[in-house]
Structure 1
């Protein structure tokens, strides 16, 4: 008897559903969500391009030369153990990019002031090479597998995000 009542209720509901139109115009439409501008950076965030990874097998080569900083193209190299030196990186860069003996390579380890290098899990380097090596320095086939690299972006002279805020607040 209860089953018969349930069956008749289900049948009645099915008839009501079938009697109703199911066209999409009967359904309420939701307004489109506002699309965010993906090119705009959120306030206080730096737009840092993603690092690429190298693919070349590793070998060895020579040492450093000096050059005017303005004449160089700078790249960011990361994922090195803390035991790697600037001289090691110079040798690797000269080999990987096939840098001519008379072309300069300038290497600087990037470590926070006061940080103990031996306690870091990895270190990063800023490397300057001649502008002729720009294309080859951004080619993943020229770098060892697992090495993170990209164009170096200098954020050291960037104004503080909070500088404007504190100035407005004190006025």
Structure 2
């Protein structure tokens, strides 16, 4: 879906490798927060921090996207998430206004479980999926009813693009 000459993906490591490194850093911090303030508050802090980071990451990718963002340029980024066999997916629709796919294997979920972080894997990865769009292009929204991370047989991603939803962010 993406070519190596895409300025938005040049120099980027795969997302699975990035998430594994991040999780190794987050794990002891999360464990310490749980001990000090309780699991519920620790999860809320992780959730908030990761959502903010996802929006910032989306904005950073948008800034590197020549000609502006769209659902097609968003689709071009997906190779970063699937790199290193991170996801086994089946794309069922890829148009200018809809991008739907099914994830049958999620190595993100497998990695978090192996690291002992299965209980917050959805906070570390899944919550980013729709939130990333807020920073990348708020005209892109995600509908998903289930995830492998939370025990389903597959994830059902349905991104849609509404050109009237919000103005496109422009660089200063």
TM-score greater than 0.5 by the shorter chain: no
Bigger radius of gyration, 1 or 2?
Answer: 1
Q: TM-score normalised by the shorter chain: which range applies?
A: under 0.3
* Higher RCO (CA-CA < 8 Å; seq separation 6+): 1
TM-score (norm 2): 0.25
Could you state the TM-score of these two structures normalised by the residue count of structure 1?
Answer: 0.25
